[in-house]
Structure 1
């Protein structure tokens, strides 16, 4: 699959890039994408700290007052939640969210997510740029992206590391997110309108699946 390389302002570049069909040309399947996204979000959840409940508190169970005549309620246990030092009533409990998913399914899901962008809107969902060389000025980058008209949410993926000047210029732009190639994932790719890859990112992603 040959794709025209563009500039950051959306204008056509002077070259093309040949994308591997086994990475960018698959037919997306909703069930595979759903499984991978669910796996990602489940493993992203935090674990609550466990609170000690009534059965976990080490306090005496001896009745500490008379049944009658004390002028107070009939309490028989200091571990009751109403007392200082007593157990928590219906407190948080530890829950594990470490859902497992086969590595082949995770790999297939990422390739399908990349393919979905390459095939959506006649290929407009995937943009290939030569590099991310900018002067580090947010205002200039905003102007370039406005000309490109890539949508409200843009995910930019670079090679081993994101270009420092581009990351600096893009960090305050709402809807623009940047990742290195190693951080490419199904959830972030699908939730953005446009996926922008550098040549280096394409090489890293194809090597990741073919290695």
Structure 2
């Protein structure tokens, strides 16, 4: 698949061949759904459990007479009504740690990239250099390129410092290194922007 490469000034900078094995697949909703669900589940933290009556280390001996003591007929000090006793109907431990096959995860990322390419929402730029890292300069450049309301920009191994500084105050523009590319973020944004370096890294990662 051949795609035009542009500069941030919306000028032509040649063409690039995108591997059909990564950018030319037919997206499947079931695969994308599985990967996104797995990602969101992995984000959830472990719900901490509370100690119930059986978890508290206190004596189980009956500490008072059944009758004649003038108090309630308690069996032991682990009852919830006592300080240090177990909590009644406490929170249970919930550990969210789902698993998903690596091949399915890789396939989901390929299909997310292919979906953007198929819909025409993929832009490839030569580099992300912004003069003096100025937000105003970058905003004018992005308007010419037609980034849309929400754009995800993926760079190579390291993020371009000038672009990171200039885009930090722009609403709807997010920046990731190639290693951080994921299905959820790609699908959540209207436009996917890749640098030449990002294309090389993604193809090497997903074809390796």
**Aligned to 1:49, what secondary structure does the other structure show?**
coil
Three-state SS of the structure 1 residue aligned to 2:61 is coil
What's the offset of the Cα at 1:72? 4.3
CA 115–90 in structure 1, closer or farther in 2 if over 3 Å, else same: same
Partners in 1 of 2:111 and 2:98 — Cα distance? Answer: 21
8 Å CA contact retained: 1:4, 1:12: no
DSSP-derived class of the 1:162 partner = coil
Q: How far is 1:113 from its partner?
A: 0.3
Show CA shifts across 1:156-178 (max 9, x none).
00001111111122223222111
Contact 1:129–1:197 (CA<8 Å) still a contact in 2?
A: yes
SS state at 1:60 partner = coil
User: Residues 1-211 of structure 1: matches in 2 within 5 Å?
Assistant: 1-9=1-9, 11-68=10-67, 72-120=71-119, 123=120, 125-134=121-130, 135-211=132-208
The two structures have a TM-score, normalised by structure 1, of: 0.90
Contact 2:78 2:85 in 1 (8 A): yes
Report the Cα offset of residue 42 of structure 1.
1.4
Structure 1 runs (4+) greater than 6 angstroms displaced: none
The Cα shift of 1:38 comes to 1.2
Shift of 1:69: 5.5
Deviation of the 1:101 alpha carbon = 1.4
Cα RMSD (Å) of the superposition? 1.8
Residues 145 and 89 (structure 1 numbering): CA distance in 2 closer, same or farther, change over 3 Å? Answer: farther
Q: Is the 8 A contact 2:129 2:162 kept in 1?
A: yes
Q: CA deviation at 1:40?
A: 1.3
Contact 2:153–2:193 (CA<8 Å) still a contact in 1? Answer: yes
The 3-state SS of whatever aligns with 1:197 is strand
Farther off after superposition, 65-74 or 95-104: 65-74
SS state of the match for residue 59, structure 1? coil
- SS in structure 2 opposite 1:28? coil
Structure 2 CA distance for partners of 1:70 and 1:173, relative to 1, 3 Å: farther
Equivalences, count = 207
The answer to whether the 8 Å contact 2:7/2:13 transfers is: no
TM-score (norm 2): 0.91
